[in-house]
Structures are given as structure tokens and as C-alpha cells.
């Protein structure tokens, strides 16, 4: 068995208070059984506050978000009260692991970092090329090499990204993404604004190539259910939308993070684009 990860994986550091789009806001926070048991027994004021924040439903334990949709443990300075008072080892699994994701491909494992995290988008865009490292041997390779080592055959032409966005493609993009379930009220407004985006001429295609490959990397495990044609069409939709958005207002890292949180964290939304 081999474990492969993007070569920037070990460089990930949470930006904590410096993060503008904290993952401690706006997301439902599930608490694993072990952590919930620890929190329910904890003495003192922190234990009392944790018990007030915890609730259980048919799917398990969760933290009740505040009226502003913030984690109740997120302090005004942007730092986590649990880490401050008990240390990182007291975090529940989801908070300890985020933004990491893991995929199993046959005997091998892929580790990755999700693009809804602004620290990860900055890391990805800061790389001259997307490379992957084997944890066991230290070998590095590009995306095509990774696929070969995993025993996955894909025609080379499908792995090349070149934006070709005309008026018909813009209409297709807006209608496909409008059919996904909106993460919040801003998403439909953001899509509507793209109706007046100038048709783009991509300037830095290597950055979009890297993003396109990373979008495919995140969905590799779906190759058990989907043909590569569908996966490639999915990654093109997401990358084309990003290119169009950048033509309206250049902010590749911000738009990429936004597309990721809207699409990649909802299997239903990914499936709607895969069909």
C-alpha cells in the first residue's frame, strides 16, 4: 500500500485568527461520540458551556451555532476556546481533521486538502506545478504520473485544460450551476453577476491547469461509479466558471474557494454536475 499526497500537504497551517473565511462559521459542526462523551463530563465553566452548546439528533451530536452562525467556541479574536483552554488534542474529529480529506483507491490511499479553506487555495496557487509525493518512498510525480502509479489509464488529451468560453458556454455554465443547491443567499446573486462578465481570455493558463487537475484529484475515487468523460466534464465546468468569474473580477483564490465550498462539500451538488 502507498499513500500519496499533494507535495504542499505538509506545509498546511491553519491561518486561525488571520483567516477571513473561517470554517468555524456557517457550517454545521458534527461532534463524534468520543469527543461528545469527553465534553459532557468536563468540569468547570468550559464544561457547562460545552454542554449548553451540544445537542443530539437522529444523526448524532452537533454544536448549536450562534445566531450569527458561528461555532459557539469561536472567540471574538478568531481563536478557538477549546484549543486555548485544553489544547488541540481536545478538538472533535471533524475540527482536528478539517480541511483534510482521504480517498482509498484499491490498495492505495490519497490524502488531500479541501479548497474551501483559504490557506489551501493559497498553497495550491503558490505552486509552480501540481506535484504529488509518495509517503513511503519520497518519490514525486505530476498528476499524470500519479494516475499511472494508481493504475488508472486516461487519454492525455482529457487531462489538458484550455478555457474556451463563448456565449453558449456561459449560458450552459450559469444554468448548470444554478441547478445546484445554493449554500447561501449570495450564491444565486454571484451567478447572476456572471451574466455580464466579459467573455474571458485566460492569462495564466498554468494556474487553471493546476486547479483543473486538483479538481480531478479530489474526485478520483468516483472513478468507481463514473466514466472519466464525466469527471473531466465536471472539472471543466468548475474551472470554466472560475475563469469566467476571474474575467468579471480577478480573484482566483477567492472564487476558487467559493466554488469549492458550494460544490465540493456537497455530494449532491457534485452529482448534479456529473450527470
| Choice between 81 and 149, CB closer to ligand SF4 | 81
Q: Which of 6, 22, 165, 242 binds ligand SF4 (CB under 6 A)?
A: 22
Helix count and strand count (H, E) for the chain: 12, 8
- Going 181 to 263 to 179 to 191, the CA torsion angle's sign is positive
Q: Check binding of 119 to ligand SF4 (CB under 6 A).
A: yes
CB of residue 116 to ligand SF4, shortest distance in Å: 7
CB of residue 264 to ligand SF4, shortest distance in Å: 14
59-118: which residues touch ligand SF4 (CB under 6 A)? 98-99, 117-118
Mark 204-233 with x for binding to ligand SF4 (rule: CB under 6 A) and - for no binding.
------------------------------
Task: Output the 3-class SS for 127-138.
Answer: CCCCCEEECCCC
| Choice between 117 and 237, CB closer to ligand SF4 | 117
Q: Check binding of 19 to ligand SF4 (CB under 6 A).
A: yes
Report the relative pairing of strands 108-113 and 100-105 from DSSP bridges: antiparallel
Angle between helices 228-248 and 252-259 (to 10 degrees): 140
CA distance 117 to 19: 9
| Choice between 25 and 51, CB closer to ligand SF4 | 25
Answer whether 28's CB lies under 8 Å from 69's CB: no
Answer whether 4's CB lies under 8 Å from 136's CB: no
Q: Check binding of 256 to ligand SF4 (CB under 6 A).
A: no
CB of residue 24 to ligand SF4, shortest distance in Å: 6
CA distance 253 to 30: 27
| Choice between 120 and 220, CB closer to ligand SF4 | 120
3-state secondary structure of 37: helix
Q: Check binding of 14 to ligand SF4 (CB under 6 A).
A: yes
Give the binding site for ligand SF4 (CB under 6 A).
Answer: 14-15, 19, 21-23, 98-99, 117-119
Amino acid at each position: 500500500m502507498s499513500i500519496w499526497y499533494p507535495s504542499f500537504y505538509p506545509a498546511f497551517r491553519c491561518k486561525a485568527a488571520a483567516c477571513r473565511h473561517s470554517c468555524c462559521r456557517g457550517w454545521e459542526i458534527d461532534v463524534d461520540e468520543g469527543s461528545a462523551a469527553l465534553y459532557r463530563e468536563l468540569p468547570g465553566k468550559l464544561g457547562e458551556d460545552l454542554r449548553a452548546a451540544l445537542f443530539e439528533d437522529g444523526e448524532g451530536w452537533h454544536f448549536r451555532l450562534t445566531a450569527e452562525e458561528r461555532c459557539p467556541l469561536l472567540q471574538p479574536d478568531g481563536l478557538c476556546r477549546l484549543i486555548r483552554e485544553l489544547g488541540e488534542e481536545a478538538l472533535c474529529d471533524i475540527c482536528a481533521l478539517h480541511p483534510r480529506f482521504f480517498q482509498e483507491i484499491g490498495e492505495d490511499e490519497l490524502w488531500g486538502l479541501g479548497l474551501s479553506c483559504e490557506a489551501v487555495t493559497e498553497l495550491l496557487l503558490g505552486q509552480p506545478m501540481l506535484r504529488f509525493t509518495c509517503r513511503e518512498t519520497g518519490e514525486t510525480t505530476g498528476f499524470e504520473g500519479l494516475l499511472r502509479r494508481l493504475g488508472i489509464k486516461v487519454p492525455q488529451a482529457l487531462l489538458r485544460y484550455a478555457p474556451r468560453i463563448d456565449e453558449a458556454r456561459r449560458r450552459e455554465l450559469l444554468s448548470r450551476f444554478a441547478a445546484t443547491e445554493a449554500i447561501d443567499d449570495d450564491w444565486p446573486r454571484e451567478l447572476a453577476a456572471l451574466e455580464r462578465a466579459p467573455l474571458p481570455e485566460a492569462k495564466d493558463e498554468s494556474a487553471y491547469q493546476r486547479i483543473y487537475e486538483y479538481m480531478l484529484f479530489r474526485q478520483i475515487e468516483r472513478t468507481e461509479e463514473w466514466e472519466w468523460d464525466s469527471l473531466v466534464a465536471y472539472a471543466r465546468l468548475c474551472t470554466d466558471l472560475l475563469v469566467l468569474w476571474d474575467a468579471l473580477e480577478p480573484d482566483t483564490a477567492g472564487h476558487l474557494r467559493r466554488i469549492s465550498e458550494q460544490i465540493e462539500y456537497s455530494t449532491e451538488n457534485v452529482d448534479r454536475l456529473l450527470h
